[in-house]
Structure 1
Amino acid sequence: MALSKKQIERLIAVSRYYYQDDLSQQEIAQKMNLSRPTVSKSLQLARENQIVTIKIQDPFENTAVIREQLQEKYRLKDVVIAEQANYDEQGILEQLGAVTADYLDRIVTDGVTIGINWGRTMEAVANHLHPSHNRDVQLVQLKGSVTNSSETNYSADITQKFNQAFHTQASLLPLPIIFGDAQVKQLAMQDQFISQVVAKGNAADIALYTVGTTRPTAMLFQSGYLDADQITQLRTASVGDVLSHYITADGALAEPDLDARTVAISLDQLAKKRYAILIAGGQAKLQSIHAALVGGHANVLIVDQAVAKSLLAL
């Protein structure tokens, strides 16, 4: 409906009184000798005709503010927030992978050692890596990679793509994620080759990892090393895992006996890294991300926008 000049002038006047002068609709009606319903309709028409537009300034949409607040809350050296168009899990992974690859371009220098993990998040990072111009970069696996499951953990593909990007050959840890017996694990760790790989992982400058959940579909639950009773216990006692170390809501080890059979860099060693980079997103991982951060298991967080906001609310 086309508005006359007189109608537009009235809409502008009503809008100024309401939005700029903070008068109530009743006060405007008395001031302009109009009925209250007419004032209400005028405000609606003003918005419909773009005379008035509403813009909500959400401070949490300012990623710079979110970054600072997350750094302060969790005592982090850096936070990177990936742009997020929607809540699609694969879309979030792609964004996380892209910004992590960019972040590596900034922090990787000649001669550094990068510790890598496996899984869908790390696969997304590997897919977005750029060819590096740095020299003598070394790669090392931070945990065992052999599983009893036919479901892929992307370990081989991730390693190949990291090797190509950094022009090197990763040191592999060709052991099960979890041994059936702690003593057998200790014997395996004493092997000269294995102990060298572990030492290299402990000395790595950069550690890249994500967190797991306790959802029934969690990759570790599909690995074939945990029976139904163990999975039930973990779903009760923990909120997820950090490099296959299951943790409680406050970031402590949830099952020390299981942890004694787990092949992965220790949480204590992880905390010593120059860059202990936690890459994770999606609301399903919110509690495990929070637990890893309050436990001090990361000093850099790469996360999506929605989870970044949710972390501040916890």
Structure 2
Amino acid sequence: MARAATRNKKTKFQSDQEELKLRAAWHYFVEGLTQEQVAQHLGISRIKTYRLLAATREDGTVQITINSQAEPLLKLQRSLEKHLGLFECVVVPASEQTEASVSSVIGHATGRYLSERLEEGLSIGIGWGATLQACMNSLTWREIDNMTVVSLLGGLTHAAAHNPSAVAWRLAEFYKTELYQITAPIFLPSEKLASELWKLDDLKDLYERARNVDLALISVSDISKHASIFRRNLLTAEDAQSLREAGAVGDVLAHFVDNDGNVIKHPINRRAMSIDPTDIRKVPKVIISSGGVRKASAIRAGILATNAKVLITDEATAQELLRLPPVQ
């Protein structure tokens, strides 16, 4: 009885906090009250008001849409489309080139872009990374029948919010759709084990399903200590050095590629429980959502590896991409 009472109190507290957060957001973003006025109206401190408003941005309760775009950005988009052989490019301004800032602004743009293009019966393959994690906070809810989400990567046996398969799970949960996952660690200890697992009927079926999605949303990364795979110790610094020596410039779906988008011959690629990026080349729409100047070569390689025709990136990275050789 005591436990039940405690649970009920927690539930009521969470409900009250959610209502308070929504009221604060409405007064501030819709009615245009100052934070001090919101605090007075709700009978709470200004610091609590600030925290509530910050939470509404972080969890996607409040989403901001800008309905116009500066001419220089439009020109940059058109130049990049021509330079990289893209069908569409979205370039967003980023005031800072920190990992968090770039991921946040590109993720926001990606969430808006994706939400507008989801439709009944769509099958969508999903990669991972900080940008795609941020994207999930900017999705717009609407009911979509018969949509299917396919995770393009395996996961981790021990992880919090940054499990590679978590992005696909969050997308499927948000839109209440079916989810197909690679139920294996993203990197296995041996090539033989990975080869044997891919022979299982369920995983063979999933691989075929991944090849035939209608849309694939992925991110790419370079081979540095800042990259998710190395920052989260999925691979070591020694692995990174070995990959660079083999000609790798970036990671696309946990497969390492060279400047021309070729998946390099390396044991780590053969240990990966993820979809080979070259196997999604025939997907009707491949979207790369990624930014950061240091990733420019990896982004270009990712476009070549997957035949992506849509890129969502930041302004500084777009300018850096224009300095690289064009995609023929």
- Shorter-chain TM-score category? 0.7 to 0.9
Residues 235 and 151 (structure 1 numbering): CA distance in 2 closer, same or farther, change over 3 Å? farther
- Give the equivalent residue in structure 1 for 2:185: 176
- Give the equivalent residue in structure 2 for 1:161: 170
- Give the equivalent residue in structure 2 for 1:10: none
Q: Write the mapping of 1:239-278 to structure 2, written as runs, cut at 5 A.
A: 239-278=249-288
**Take 2:167 and 2:229, find their aligned partners in 1: how far apart are those partners?**
17
Residues 154 and 179 (structure 1 numbering): CA distance in 2 closer, same or farther, change over 3 Å? closer
- Give the equivalent residue in structure 2 for 1:41: none
How many equivalent residue pairs? 254
**Take 1:155 and 1:226, find their aligned partners in 2: how far apart are those partners?**
14
**Take 1:228 and 1:85, find their aligned partners in 2: how far apart are those partners?**
30
Q: CA deviation at 1:238?
A: 1.4
Structure 1 counterpart of 2:187, one-letter code? I
Q: CA deviation at 1:301?
A: 0.4
- Give the equivalent residue in structure 2 for 1:204: 213
**Take 1:275 and 1:263, find their aligned partners in 2: how far apart are those partners?**
23
- Give the equivalent residue in structure 2 for 1:99: 109
- Give the equivalent residue in structure 1 for 2:16: none
SS for the counterpart of 1:62 is helix
Q: Write the mapping of 1:1-314 to structure 2, written as runs, cut at 5 A.
A: 62-146=72-156, 153-155=162-164, 157-222=166-231, 224=233, 226-236=235-245, 237-295=247-305, 297-314=307-324
Residues 224 and 63 (structure 1 numbering): CA distance in 2 closer, same or farther, change over 3 Å? closer
**Take 2:197 and 2:206, find their aligned partners in 1: how far apart are those partners?**
12
Structure 2 counterpart of 1:169, one-letter code? E
Note if contact 1:238-1:254 (Cα within 8 Å) is conserved in structure 2.
yes
The superposition leaves residues 98-144 of structure 1 with CA deviations (integer Å, 9 ceiling, x where unpaired) of: 11111112322210111112221111011111113321111010011
SS for the counterpart of 2:162 is coil
Structure 1 counterpart of 2:77, one-letter code? R
**Take 1:169 and 1:296, find their aligned partners in 2: how far apart are those partners?**
25
Large movers: runs of 4+ above 3 Å: 154-157, 222-229, 294-297
**Take 2:275 and 2:300, find their aligned partners in 1: how far apart are those partners?**
20
Structure 2 counterpart of 1:231, one-letter code? A
The superposition leaves residues 25-61 of structure 1 with CA deviations (integer Å, 9 ceiling, x where unpaired) of: xxxxxxxxxxxxxxxxxxxxxxxxxxxxxxxxxxx96
Structure 1 counterpart of 2:153, one-letter code? K
Of 299-308 and 228-237, deviating more is: 228-237
**Take 1:258 and 1:245, find their aligned partners in 2: how far apart are those partners?**
8
Q: CA deviation at 1:212?
A: 1.6
Of 105-114 and 79-88, deviating more is: 79-88
**Take 1:203 and 1:97, find their aligned partners in 2: how far apart are those partners?**
25
SS for the counterpart of 1:183 is helix
**Take 1:62 and 1:274, find their aligned partners in 2: how far apart are those partners?**
29
Q: Identity over the aligned pairs, expressed in percent?
A: 25
Note if contact 2:73-2:92 (Cα within 8 Å) is conserved in structure 1.
no
Over aligned residue pairs, what C-alpha RMSD do you find? 2.3
The superposition leaves residues 174-219 of structure 1 with CA deviations (integer Å, 9 ceiling, x where unpaired) of: 1121222222212111222222222221111111111122112422
Residues 206 and 122 (structure 1 numbering): CA distance in 2 closer, same or farther, change over 3 Å? same
- Give the equivalent residue in structure 2 for 1:48: none
SS for the counterpart of 1:214 is coil
Give the TM-score of the pair, scaled to structure 1: 0.73
Note if contact 1:101-1:128 (Cα within 8 Å) is conserved in structure 2.
yes
Note if contact 1:120-1:154 (Cα within 8 Å) is conserved in structure 2.
no
Note if contact 2:221-2:295 (Cα within 8 Å) is conserved in structure 1.
yes
